[in-house]
Amino acid sequence: MQTASAGLAAILRLVLEIDAIGKSFPAVRALDGVSLRVAAGEVHGVIGENGAGKSTLMKILAGIERPDEGRLVLDGRPYAPRSAREATDAGVAMIHQELNLAPALSVAENIVLGREPRRWGFVRRGPMRAEARRRLAEVGAEVDADAIVGDLPVAGQQLVEIAKALSQESKVLILDEPTAVLSERETRKLFDLVRRLKEAGTAILYISHLLPEVRGLCDRISVLRDGRLVAETTPAESDTDRLASLMVGRELADVYPPRGSRPNAAPRLRVESISVPGHVEGASFEIAPGEILGLAGLVGSGRTELAEAVAGLRPSRGGGILLDGAAVRFRSPRQALDRGVAYVSEDRKGRGVFTELACIENLTLPNLAAYGRVVPDRRRERSATAEWIRTLDIRCPAPAAPMRTLSGGNQQKFAVASRLDVKPTVLLLDEPTRGVDVGAKRELYHLISTLAADGLACLVISSELPELIGLCHRIAVMRQGRLVGEVDPAAESPDETERSIMRLAAGVSEHAA
């Protein structure tokens, strides 16, 4: 283990000491003697695969979970929060992967929630708004303080959450996968903000799967694997390849599978100028068997709505959808699945998996009729689940364990596996690797590639351009509900391709760029 920071810590003021923390869940040793030190004005990256224990560690810091052993020291005093409220009061704020806002309240109300300026028991709306505006300005968020949070796009909500954390004058700010829902531009804004906070002396714990991002932003990086701290390093010492291999415990090569040649067959799926009122305007594209089509675009550009319309989840208007040349219009996801068109949602917990149900039940649900029209054959369900667990290298305590006991990445694997179990001929994947670690991402890429090689027509929606560039045969770009262009990633260098996509997505003309 490297302790590059011994000298550094001596100079800087230590804010948070994590000392030999251990935590066990019913079947899993989630954390085993993890120690970290975080100084004021430091951005400390925490990386690791899904299930490595990052989220558990952060939950302990934020008072959501309590450690079984070890101790925490905050500003030289013992720190043992028994609730999120106590953590906040002590100056530790956390921005969750899944946002924690009250959707029905206004932005300002959310920001001051629990600490409303009051007089005679009544909330003083003026000071409340002023406070909220000030915090939003600090974050650089162009968000109306009176807007209802539920009406904001996800990126806007994230900014509100950060503004809320700021308003709590935190000493330690924990950011858990903050860029997963942000566009490129918003991500840059966020990084600016993080750097400003750092200069102001806030200690920041930054959790992410995006290794380049971590390297670019963090002063030090701690790597967790299987509940243990395996390395503490700096961006200077480790490049992304090294970080990745530290995470998975071995050298990680070939993140992206070799791109097969673009198939020349007749299109399996052909979408002709369909519209989804309010979201998509006359979109046309086609995917051949064996082809992987990427769909890029900013959050809110209509990518998800387009895919959902194809999969029978939304009513579409105009044009037509042809499957192997035959016109179809699915009125329900069931019809789509029965015809071999499967969609995996970007919203894992809300639409992808059933957190309270067993892994088996999650896996076989979309294809349950295949296990028995009236009485599903449990033995076959179990063996199919075991098979998928093996194929996708899913880590779960037992096939009968509830989905919530799995880490986010493994839940995502189940969401994908359950659709694959239908044996689709067209697979629509919406942000398939969001919140998934490098090792699992690599497996998913190889899986998608294999499936395509076997003749599946794939659509991959993603905000991570390198992933689209590494995986897809073609990349279509959406802007404000329209398909505005297509990029061939094989034709130019990855950097060139990325720039082309961004220009199309942001609507910047060639000349202006």
Partner 1 sequence: MSDAAAGSVAGSVVTRSPLARSLDLLQQYGVLVAFVGLFAFNAIWQGDAFLKPENLRNLLNQNAAVGIVAVGMTLVIVAGGIDLSVGAVMALAAAVGMLAMNGLAGMVDAEGAGQFVPLLAGFASAIGVGLACGALNGGLVTLGRIPAFIATLAGLIGFRSITLALAEGGEIRADQAITAVQAIGRDGLAIPGVVNAYDKPVVFYWTILLFLVVVVLGQLTLSRTRLGRHLVAVGSNELAARYSGVPVARVKLWSYTIVGFCAALGGIASTVRMNSVSSSQLGLYAELDAIAAVVIGGTSMTGGRGRVWGTLLGVLILVMITNMLSLWQVEVYWQGFVKGVIIVLAVLIQRGRAS
Q: Using CB under 8 A, list all residues that contact partner 1.
A: 24-30, 32, 51-52, 226-227, 248-250, 313, 332-334, 336-338, 343, 345, 350-357, 361, 365-366, 368-369, 372-376, 386, 389-390, 393-397, 399, 418, 422, 439
Residue 112 CB, shortest distance to partner 1, in Å, is 28
Report the residue number, 32 or 431, with the smaller CB distance to partner 1.
32
Report the residue number, 267 or 424, with the smaller CB distance to partner 1.
424
Residue 5 CB, shortest distance to partner 1, in Å, is 26
Of the candidates 112, 95, 203, the residue with the CA atom closest to the CA atom of residue 159: 95
State the CB neighbour count (10 A cutoff) for residue 454. 9
Report the residue number, 353 or 478, with the smaller CB distance to partner 1.
353
Report the residue number, 408 or 439, with the smaller CB distance to partner 1.
439
Q: Distance between CA atoms of 107 and 9, rounded to whole angstroms? A: 38
Residue 434 CB, shortest distance to partner 1, in Å, is 16
Report the residue number, 240 or 391, with the smaller CB distance to partner 1.
391
Q: Distance between CA atoms of 417 and 363, rounded to whole angstroms? A: 7
Long-range contacts of 283-289 (CB under 8 A, 24+ apart): 283/478, 283/481, 283/482, 283/483, 284/319, 284/483, 285/476, 285/483, 287/426, 287/457, 287/458, 287/459, 288/262, 288/263, 288/264, 288/457, 289/263, 289/265, 289/425, 289/455, 289/456, 289/457
Residue 240 CB burial class (10 angstroms; 0-12, 13-18, ≥19): middle
Residue 55 CB, shortest distance to partner 1, in Å, is 13
Instruction: Report residue 414 CA to chain centroid gap.
Output: 15
Report the residue number, 30 or 108, with the smaller CB distance to partner 1.
30
Residue 311 CB, shortest distance to partner 1, in Å, is 9
Of the candidates 441, 66, 471, 167, the residue with the CA atom closest to the CA atom of residue 293: 471
Residue type, 159: L
Report the residue number, 154 or 386, with the smaller CB distance to partner 1.
386
Q: Distance between CA atoms of 168 and 93, rounded to whole angstroms? A: 8
Residue 312 CB, shortest distance to partner 1, in Å, is 9
Residue 224 CB, shortest distance to partner 1, in Å, is 11
Coil/strand/helix, residue 78: strand
Of the candidates 229, 292, 274, the residue with the CA atom closest to the CA atom of residue 456: 292
Q: Distance between CA atoms of 324 and 306, rounded to whole angstroms? A: 19
Report the residue number, 87 or 438, with the smaller CB distance to partner 1.
438
State the CB neighbour count (10 A cutoff) for residue 215. 18
Residue 1 CB, shortest distance to partner 1, in Å, is 19
| 474-479 and 482-487 beta bridge pairing | antiparallel
Residue 21 CB, shortest distance to partner 1, in Å, is 14
Report the residue number, 397 or 455, with the smaller CB distance to partner 1.
397
Q: Are 61 and 90 in contact (CB under 8 A)?
A: no
State the CB neighbour count (10 A cutoff) for residue 219. 20
Token readout for 463 is 């905000």
Residue 374 CB, shortest distance to partner 1, in Å, is 6
Report the residue number, 263 or 352, with the smaller CB distance to partner 1.
352
Report the residue number, 408 or 489, with the smaller CB distance to partner 1.
408
Q: Are 279 and 305 in contact (CB under 8 A)?
A: yes
Residue 199 CB, shortest distance to partner 1, in Å, is 38
